[in-house]
């Protein structure tokens, strides 16, 4: 029996806060942790980029989330599993083979998180009317960014301070992952009570005269039969081509000594400048982007947002050239870059929702996000070697050149003129 859909404010913020945390842990917090442990930039970029794979291939099992149980069940169950995985990472910190063991557990967490994303995004589209989806995309983005702030801001700062006070880096990171584990157990319990039960949240094969295997393959086929599929694929795959490479080396650049081309910041300072001030700016940018699209529509905002995502990459070229020592100045520069990225990335979120509309919207959105992850994973894997070859200053110039394909695809892609507008 279904119950009325509750106030979206009771569950949209917490759902996307919870969606952000494991992604931040796997893709960003792990970079800081391994840098603190003395792992090389090349290994950090290579192995943490491989952790993108579950998000890349999640479309392969996304139909199962539609076919088996409800999205609500998947969300609650996977949040509990992610909490257990976070606790396991905390335990690996004291092992001599921590790098291999922690990577193995992070793989488990990545698969759980990718599956959770499928269920959460599907639940969002089932639990809200289309007008609400556009209105709440800013809220969704904001609380996702707040999850990032909690994960890579407050917890990075905590790890830095604990390391300074105890002199034990492994203990500091064990505490951080223990805190995260408790947060996820609490989220699972909260959502077990607070998530609504929309009538549309049912298994697609339950009670239906449909062969599960046929339904599975039909879901994929229907996505790749969409009109202008080549443009859809090109836009999604190239939108973050530059950012994919910058993201992997941003923290190593901030932490590496000045003599090596970096800014020589401590872990705590990175927690303030990049992971706190930067994420706040990212959040504000996302709110502004969602508001503007709701007023003007996605089509009218597209070019402004593409420029907003990519032009601020020049900030890193400047920082690498000047190597300023002022924490305030670096924080302000990072805030500018992150605000532009948050503002512009809203366009991609709404574009994927537009492309995914239809009977298989959960699986199709998962395919879109998987393609976007592929566009992040492959460039990220080589970014460490490119940086080692070019040095930081020329590497960031190269990143700016890598944004050109995104501008080309923005000129070709087709957008519904009324989509996103209230």
Distance CA 312, CA 337 (A): 5
Distance CA 394, CA 320 (A): 9
Q: Could you tell me the two tokens for 260? A: 């090596």
Q: Where are the alpha helices (DSSP H) in 28-97?
A: 30-36, 41-50, 53-57, 62-67, 71-92
Q: Is 64 exposed, middle or buried (0-12, 13-18, 19+ CB in 10 A)?
A: middle
Distance CA 405, CA 234 (A): 9
pTM of the model: 0.69
What residue has token string 């805030």? 335
| pLDDT of the residue at 208 | 52
Q: Could you tell me the two tokens for 303? A: 């070019």
Rounded to 10°, the helix 361-401/212-224 angle is 40
| pLDDT of the residue at 326 | 94
Distance CA 96, CA 93 (A): 8
At residue 289, the 3 state secondary structure works out as helix
Q: Collect the ranges in the chain with pLDDT lower than 70.
A: 1-6, 130-131, 134-135, 138, 204-213, 215, 420-422
pLDDT digits (tens, 9 = 90+) for 231-247: 999 999 999 999 889 98
| pLDDT of the residue at 212 | 61
Helices and strands, counts by H and E, the chain:
20, 0
| pLDDT of the residue at 213 | 64
Of the candidates 76, 79, 71, the one whose C-alpha atom is nearest the C-alpha of residue 201 is 71
Could you please state the CATH topology (level 3) that the domain comprising 8-203+210-412 is classified under.
Growth Hormone; Chain: A; (1.20.1250)
- Scored b (16 or more CB within 10 A) or e, 238-251 reads bbbbbbbbbbbbbb
| pLDDT of the residue at 3 | 43
Q: Could you tell me the two tokens for 393? A: 């200053």
Q: Hey, where are the domains in the chain?
A: 8-203+210-412
Distance CA 387, CA 42 (A): 9
Sequence-distant (≥ 6) Cβ neighbours of residue 329 within 8 angstroms: none
pLDDT digits (tens, 9 = 90+) for 11-29: 999 999 999 999 989 888 8
At residue 195, the 3 state secondary structure works out as coil
What residue has token string 């905590």? 158
């Amino acid at each position: 029996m279904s119950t009325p859909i509750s106030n979206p404010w009771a569950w949209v913020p917490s759902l996307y806060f919870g969606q952000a945390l494991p992604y931040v842990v796997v893709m960003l917090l792990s970079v800081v942790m391994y840098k603190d442990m003395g792992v090389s930039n090349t290994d950090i970029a290579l192995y943490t980029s491989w952790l993108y794979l579950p998000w890349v291939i999640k479309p392969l099992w996304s139909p199962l989330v539609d076919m088996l149980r409800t999205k609500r069940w998947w969300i609650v169950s996977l949040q509990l599993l992610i909490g257990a995985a976070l606790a396991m990472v905390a335990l690996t910190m004291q092992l001599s083979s921590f790098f291999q063991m922690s990577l193995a557990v992070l793989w488990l967490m990545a698969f759980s998180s990718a599956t959770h994303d499928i269920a959460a995004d599907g639940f969002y589209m089932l639990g809200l009317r289309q007008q609400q989806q556009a209105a709440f995309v800013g809220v969704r983005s904001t609380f996702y960014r707040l999850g990032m702030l909690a994960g890579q801001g407050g917890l990075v700062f905590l790890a830095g301070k604990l390391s300074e006070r105890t002199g034990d880096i492994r203990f500091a990171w064990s505490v951080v992952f223990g805190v995260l584990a408790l947060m996820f157990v609490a989220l699972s319990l909260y959502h077990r009570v607070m998530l609504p039960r929309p009538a549309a949240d049912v298994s697609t094969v339950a009670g239906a005269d449909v062969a599960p295997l046929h339904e599975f393959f039909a879901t994929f086929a229907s996505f790749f039969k969409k009109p202008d599929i080549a443009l859809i694929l090109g836009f999604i795959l190239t939108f973050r081509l530059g950012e994919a490479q910058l993201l992997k080396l941003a923290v190593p650049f901030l932490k590496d000594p000045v003599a090596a081309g970096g800014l020589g910041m401590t872990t705590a300072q990175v927690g303030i400048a990049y992971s706190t001030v930067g994420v706040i700016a990212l959040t504000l940018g996302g709110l502004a982007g969602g508001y503007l699209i709701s007023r003007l529509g996605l089509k009218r905002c597209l070019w402004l947002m593409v420029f907003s995502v990519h032009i601020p990459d020049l900030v890193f070229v400047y920082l690498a050239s000047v190597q300023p020592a002022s924490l305030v100045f670096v924080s302000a520069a990072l805030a500018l870059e992150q605000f532009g990225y948050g503002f512009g990335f809203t366009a991609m979120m709404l574009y994927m929702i537009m492309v995914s509309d239809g009977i298989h919207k959960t699986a199709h959105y998962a395919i879109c996000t998987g393609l976007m992850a592929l566009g992040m994973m492959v460039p990220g894997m080589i970014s460490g070697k490119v940086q080692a070859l070019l040095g930081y200053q020329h590497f960031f110039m190269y990143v700016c050149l890598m944004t050109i394909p995104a501008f080309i695809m923005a000129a070709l892609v087709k957008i519904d003129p009324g989509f996103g507008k209230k």
